Structure 1
């Protein structure tokens, strides 16, 4: 009988050999390219080894427990699934709005969206709610090729419902597990390009020297110490999707640009609860968690429908833009740093 370790190794080898060949691709009616991600296993979250390898100049963050990313745990994605290679764009979202006359959360809630306020020196107050802010007016210029922002989780799921009807198949937001599995693309490094903060700049639009030059003090507080050449991506706010290098499986912008909504409810101690549930009561051994979809509810959810986001954004430094990084927002709220990409099941 094969041991659990041997089975895990078989899954890992299968993934690596499969990834050596180009993954299947498809294009839908909106011109989105999707790739089929194979089933397999991976270590989700920040492992002890990754934490030891973490080389970040912000000593406060370096010493943090990263409680919502730990403990790392083995996850199995039991079925192949399709995921968009790029984030949903302004142009794609506009087509949805024009055909359905849909009003986003920010347009109908009376509060608008949370947008960048660079004049404020305090870090928290650098983002403020503006009643006239929405996906058409995020506070900075965008073209149809930029990722749509100022859309809530509810807006993202409404878009998926519409696209499902258009395509006669089921589109949805990826789960957190699917998102991280696809973003890592078979590697166990802290970033797609390696373990060093400087490696992230080739793969994504994050808070860098370009943003710092436009708004002094915004990025400096994140204590970036890499060279100016390495920390300059030439973009202040969002970048057109697909501008940077893709990961090994062909996904773009898994670091930075916009935080991406996932389907899961968010809980900061969710990984700990999973680990308790994943321990075999007879042997005490850890078993693999299969297709986790987030908690059904938590005590905090009586105060709001908190949903997970992944990937970092144009404002965050390398530390908050890692493959394991997690963030969250209330499902009805909209932010100038949040968007989404779509997924769908394989036949």
Structure 2
């Protein structure tokens, strides 16, 4: 009887929740309460008056509909309506509405409201004229915005002008922590990316082999260690969930202080495997990107994650074999930590033999983030775009990691082996919503940094450092 009552109660709760969900999903978007505030606080200031930006006026439904040769607002068709489509283009697209310089893009929730409103017929009272309004007082605006990127960019450009000359290997210390890191100069060039069809244990996503060209860059001699990363990860200041300082004051704090940094982890993130001299692990790609921005703001050099092409080029180091030392996996123990010799944990960086260009642990120890979206048909997508190929991310998962880790078999450590990230890497994270900073179930995951010889634009910097922001 008790079991019957429990089951009946559970079913009643389930049907109640289901009915509530149905009722909520059936509610139409309210223009006055939900759409007008989005447009008035984010768009109307530029898209109004006698000369609206882009000749796109958003003050009335009639003007919005007539804008863009009749494609400004098409009731029932969000994908044909500029009022929606221009809010979901890439962050660095000059057509983005609102643009980066004025606080764009909109949040995912806001763009979904716009899409649903248009799909439902775009109801807009004929007597309703929108006027520009400021965002409510007290709303938090992150200091880690495009204006910050422009300041960091200016510092990097000035530094580059002072250091013009032949690229060389170098060792630097992180100014705030005095921890040393080493970078290896990699000459630009061409190479065959991917694995040949006859390579043992090859997977379909590794080809067909394609000749690829990359520009010169520097890359970390070793994976980023806890010595380098932990001072970025753990700070003695209160932070919002997005990583911004709660006490941030532009008059008192520096550019470095404005960079978003992780909120405190709920557990010790080395999981007892070692810290001093060991690779940092279990960070999201967003966290790795922000570390690069934090380091760049201090040093005046632009750092980011390597693209897949840069990573494989550096790993191969002029070779065309399965590993940078040849095809024989029996030699792997001399160059890598993996399932057979790692004792079920990562090991200190730099203890194994380097590849021909002096890079350690490109095979094994921890698998490494790259900047690319993972796609099984990578090589089909880059055909015709083989100079510095880069698959720009549009979704959070999957993104590409390379190199294999301490718990992997030899096939995962090959130079051409690829893998995509997965949401299951943070399944044990107890937070709701789950943290944007930690992959608690990815103890094989780390990263190394790259510094391209050519300084990119502020817009490109913004994308590299924020491509995983607002998509969690």
What is the TM-score when the length of structure 1 is the normalising length? 0.66
Alpha-carbon separation, structure 2, partners of 1:262 and 1:101 = 29
Task: Report the equivalent of 2:370.
Answer: 262
1:294 aligns with 2:443: no
Counterpart contact for 2:270–2:280, Cα < 8 Å: no
Q: Residue 104 of structure 1 contacts residue 152 of structure 1 at CA under 8 Å; is this kept in 2?
A: no
Q: Residues of 1 paired with 2:209 and 2:173: CA distance?
A: 38
Unaligned runs of 5+ in 2: 1-166, 175-179, 244-263, 424-435, 455-472
Structure showing greater Rg: 2
Equivalent in the alignment of 1:117: none
Aligned equivalents of 1:234, 1:251: Cα separation in 2: 19
Q: Which residue of 1 aligns with 2:301?
A: 169
| Conserved 8 A contact 1:80-1:345 | yes
Match of 2:207 in 1: 70
User: CA 1:134 to 1:311, structure 2 compared with 1: closer, same or farther past 3 Å?
Assistant: farther
Distance 1:103 1:325, change over 3 A: farther
Q: 2:171 aligns with which of 3, 9, 27?
A: 27
**Within 1, Cα distance between the matches of 2:300 and 2:238?**
20
**Structure-2 separation of matches of 1:346 and 1:144:** 30
* Deviation by residue 1:75-97 (Cα, 9 ceiling, x = unmatched): 001x2101010001011111223
CA positional deviation for 1:236: 2.9
Cα distance between partner residues in 2 of 1:272 and 1:40: 21
Task: Tell me the distance in 2 between the aligned counterparts of 1:265 and 1:318.
Answer: 24
Matched, 1:315 2:459: no
Aligned to 1:44: 193
Indicate how the Cα distance of structure 1 residues 273 and 97 shifts in structure 2: closer, same or farther if over 3 A, else same. closer
Aligned pair in 2 of structure 1 residues 307, 141: CA closer, same or farther (>3 Å)?
same
Between the two structures, name the one with larger relative contact order (CA 8 Å, sep ≥ 6).
1
Number of residue pairs the alignment of both structures matches: 249
Counterpart CA distance in 2 for 1:197 and 1:273 is: 31
Give the whole-Å Cα distance in 2 for the aligned partners of 1:179 and 1:100.
34
Matched, 1:249 2:357: yes
Shift of 1:266: 0.9
Mapping of residues 173-322 of structure 1, within 5 Å: 173-208=305-340, 233=341, 235-275=343-383, 277=384, 289-295=386-392, 297=394, 301=395, 304-322=396-414
- The 1:159/1:262 distance shift into structure 2, 3 A limit, reads same
Q: Secondary structure at the match of 1:257?
A: coil
Which of 447, 451, 457 is equivalent to 1:344?
451
Aligned partner of 1:149 in structure 2 is 281
The root-mean-square deviation of aligned C-alpha atoms, in Å, is 2.8
Structure with a larger share of its residues in strand: 1
SS in 2 for 1:71: coil
Per-residue deviation, 1:314: 0.1
Where does structure 1 lack aligned partners over 5 or more consecutive residues? 1-22, 55-61, 108-131, 209-232, 279-288
1:330: Cα distance to partner? 4.6
Residues 172/310 of structure 1: CA separation in 2 closer, same or farther (3 Å cut) = same
Cα offset for 1:296? 5.0
> Which digits, 9 at most, give the CA deviation of each residue in 1:212-247, with x for residues without a partner?
xxxxxxxxxxxxxxxxxxxxx364310100010000
Tell me, yes or no, if the aligned pair for 2:186 and 2:216 is still in contact at 8 Å: yes
* Cα offsets for 1:10-43 (capped at 9, x unmatched): xxxxxxxxxxxxx821112231110110010001
What whole-Å deviation, never above 9, does each CA across 1:133-190 have from its counterpart, x for those lacking one? 8783343421221001111101100100100001012110011100000010000010
CA contact (8 A) 1:267 1:295 kept: no
